[in-house]
Amino acid sequence: MEITILNNHFLLNFSGVSYWEEQKMLLVADVHLGKISHFRKNGSAVPQQAIQANFERLTAAIKRFKPKKVVFLGDLFHSSFNSEWYVFENWVKKQQISMTLIAGNHDIISPIQYSSLDIELVEELIINKFLLTHHPEKRTGFFTICGHIHPGYRLEGFGKQVLKLKCFFRSENQLILPAFGEFTGCFLMTPSPKDQIYVCASEEVIKVA
């Protein structure tokens, strides 16, 4: 689904990424790499192949949109260094693309590790009238694009069916991206009449009336 913000065009993808057409930039929030390995280490019955799911979906998004740059909007890794870093390292080396990480509260791995992969690590990015951050923030004169919240929305059917889906959450001066990573969960949002919800279905993004 394409939306327009300040005369710029953003493609919202059901995987949770957004492609900024004017900047040829892929925006990805809250991948939380290493979380699955953390679960497995602590005895959770998460299949090993689940680790590859994040990388397969990232690769698919890059192939689909062919961006010049990927910007991770924080929480790329879930916590401290673990074996999943080496999977990430191998994946990065296969990508012929510029990458930037906007540091989130979970990003505690040494900046030296990112520097070794030529990944730029910053606190925020300002591009024209857009502010790219990890945490939601209101700043006068800017439209914020961020993550952190892991937004989701609860849909209810006539037969009392309930479905909880990740979503893009747009308010007057802010767009919050859904968490990209597997097993990240979601925080159910309560929109005001002026807010807009775009849920991520299996193969499409749907605007909720």
pLDDT digits (tens, 9 = 90+) for 119-157: 999 999 999 999 999 999 999 999 999 999 999 999 987
- The residue ranges of every structural domain in the chain are 2-208
User: Regarding predicted confidence, which is higher, 28 or 51?
Assistant: 28
pLDDT digits (tens, 9 = 90+) for 189-202: 999 999 999 999 98
pTM for the model stands at 0.92
Query: pLDDT averaged over the chain?
Result: 90
Q: Which CATH architecture has domain 2-208?
A: 4-Layer Sandwich (3.60)
- Helix H, strand E, coil C: the string for the chain is CEEEECCEEEEECCCCCEEECCCCEEEECCCCECHHHHHHHCCCCCCCCHHHHHHHHHHHHHHHHCCCEEEECCCCECCCCCCHHHHHHHHHHCCCCEEEEECCCCCCCCHHHHHCCCCEEECCEEECCEEECCCCCCCCCCEEEECCCCEEEEEECCCCCEEEEEEEEEECCEEECCCCCCCCCCEECCCCCCCEEEEECCCCEEEEC
